Structure 1
Amino acid sequence: MDIEAFESSVETSGEPPAELSKELKALWHDAKGDWDKAHELCQSAGSPEGDWVHAYLHRVEGDLSNASYWYHRSGHPKFEGSLKDEWRSIVEELLGR
């Protein structure tokens, strides 16, 4: 799946594609406006990628100190651009794995 297909599924589907990882499903739910479901999924992923999505989600809610903790734990630097750009960057990287 590429980023265009991922974004199209957000716009046209009621559920994320089954083949997506928990981390990508979390980002899918975030794009749908369901922060709580996104947070639940990334917390249960138990991976550095899940920690990265977790950091992004805490940045979305404005909890920057908690976001910093999760960025550190994920091994990814704090993103300095917009939330939209960060979301797209994470989705593209995770789709490429």
Structure 2
Amino acid sequence: MIDVIDFKQSVIDRSFPNKLPLYLQALWYDGTGDWKTAHDLIDRLTDQRSAHIHAYLHRKEGDIWNADYWYKRAGKIRPQFSLEEEWEMLVREYTQ
């Protein structure tokens, strides 16, 4: 597994890391500004991590109803802090 520092550096460098799980691939693409690819990767996955990232992506899109649906599927509540802080939190949580 990749650590948070290497993950974030790979986003800055646009150097896609090898063998990332799909949920981290989605965060990576979102971090590079490619929301569509991020969503396409996560759209059909049903595990809790993927649902959490799916929720974040819909929140970012502005589709709050859909985001809340995915937060519930993930067993989470929509955060009240910025999208940037949520992306950071997701990366830290799922690269450990």
TM-score by length of 1: 0.91
User: In structure 2, what is the equivalent of residue 8 of structure 1?
Assistant: 9
1:44 Cα offset (Å): 3.4
Query: Which ranges of structure 2 fall in alignment gaps of 5 or more residues?
Result: none
Query: Which ranges of structure 1 fall in alignment gaps of 5 or more residues?
Result: none
Structure 2 distance, partners of 1:81, 1:19, is 30
User: In structure 1, what is the equivalent of residue 82 of structure 2?
Assistant: 82
Residue type matched to 2:68 in 1?
Answer: S
Structure 2 distance, partners of 1:18, 1:43, is 21
Q: Which runs of 4+ in 1 moved over 3 A?
A: none
Structure 1 distance, partners of 2:88, 2:60, is 14
Question: In the TM superposition, what whole-angstrom CA distance separates every residue of 1:13-38 from its partner, at most 9, and x where no partner exists?
Answer: 34x21221100110100011111100
Partners of 2:14 and 2:32 within 8 A in 1: no
Structure showing greater relative contact order (alpha-carbon pairs closer than 8 Å, 6 or more residues apart) = 2
1:44 counterpart SS class: coil
User: In structure 1, what is the equivalent of residue 68 of structure 2?
Assistant: 68
Question: What is the RMSD of the two structures over their aligned residues, measured on CA atoms?
Answer: 1.1
Percent identity over paired residues? 41
2:67 counterpart SS class: helix
- Written as runs of structure 1 = structure 2, the 5 A alignment for 1:1-97 is 1-14=2-15, 16-96=16-96
